[in-house]
Amino acid sequence: MYIVVTGAAGFIGFHVAKKLLGEGYKVIGIDNINNYYDTGIKFARLNILQNQQNFIFLKCDIDQYDELNKGLDGFEVEGIIHLAAQAGVRYSIENPFEYTKSNLTGFTSILEIAKSHKINHLVYASTSSVYGANKNLPFAEKNIADHPIQFYAATKRANELMAHSYSSLFSIPTTGLRFFTVYGPWGRPDMALFKFTKNILAGEEINVFNNGNHHRDFTYIDDIVDGILKAFNSPPAPDINWDSYNPVPDSSFAPFKIYNIGNGKPITLMKYIELIEKYLNKKAKIKYLPLQPGDVVNTASNITSISANLEYKPLIDVSVGVKNFVDWYLDFYKENNDA
């Protein structure tokens, strides 16, 4: 039996696939290796996975259902961890059709694969961005999440609703995971930690939006992977206490569940930058800019539900996590503090 991991050459998908392989699982990794960011790091991640036993790679666009279905033909699929998506908040403002393709049509393909293979569980990536205009911090799964402020978040919220329909119609257990600002080694070059580290080393300015007045619930990749696998190993059952007259959004009469995965200890963006400076031993040249369209000012995760139900407990403090990233970056790019 295989576990399918989509987005296997991506940041989170790579770490999940690597962890599963290390625990003896058979993994089919799916990725289209698109050029949204530097493909070099994607191939480097993929090379690590392909050097391990029990890994099969399928290069495929998930929105191409027939191709995806053909590629999986003949394999017994136990479950799917769906992490492939068109990521990026700001990119979605100018390129909405890329999100329609990957996040909506692509997710429909995954749901159809889940149905046809009669899988035990579909776990998929959602995002803290779904909370949108809601300012009731910390964000909890029982909060309304129907006011997204950018299209990326709208597609992810749509994924949650689409998953519920398949859980209801076909009794497919589905779990949506709302990630809070994931960071760590092998991270995405389009994200703040990566860009800040690169620019500080090069002596170039870093753009700090909202004049640095952001708070973020930075969550280390190892903690995210731990939460994903705990969720995957605990398929949801129908909630016998679910009340259709007073419906809660994070469970259902169907086998459906939504969890936050965060660190639960938000910090200021400026503190984050100070940590990068500390471990690079180099000061940043900061260009302060106004708030960008689509940006959420503050995020904070209520992780009571996942902690109680799945015994999830984030372990990596942000100071340790940033150091781990910087160490990885310097090694991967063969940089040094004078670069």
The catalytic site residues sit at 152
> Looking up tokens 């029990």, which residue turns up?
54
- 3-class SS at 241? coil
HSE value, Cβ hemisphere, 13 Å, CA-based, for 43: 5
Contact 174, 164 (CB under 8 A): yes
The token duo for 306 is 């996942």
The token duo for 39 is 């493909």
The token duo for 259 is 């969890």
Could you give the CA distance from residue 339 to residue 337 in angstroms, rounded to a whole number? 6
Could you give the CA distance from residue 132 to residue 195 in angstroms, rounded to a whole number? 24
Query: Which residues contact residue 124 at a Cβ distance below 8 angstroms, ignoring those fewer than 6 apart?
Result: 80, 81, 82, 83, 107, 110, 159, 163, 174, 175, 176, 177
Could you give the CA distance from residue 88 to residue 288 in angstroms, rounded to a whole number? 21
Residue type, 199: N
32-36 LR contacts (CB < 8 Å, sep 24+): 32/59, 32/60, 32/61, 32/62, 32/84, 33/9, 33/59, 36/86, 36/87, 36/88, 36/91, 36/190
HSE value, Cβ hemisphere, 13 Å, CA-based, for 312: 30
Contact 55, 23 (CB under 8 A): no
DSSP assignments along 272-322, one per residue: HHHHHHHHHT---EEEE-PPPTT--SB--B--HHHHHHH-------HHHHH
Q: How many other CB atoms are found less than 10 A from the CB of residue 225? A: 21
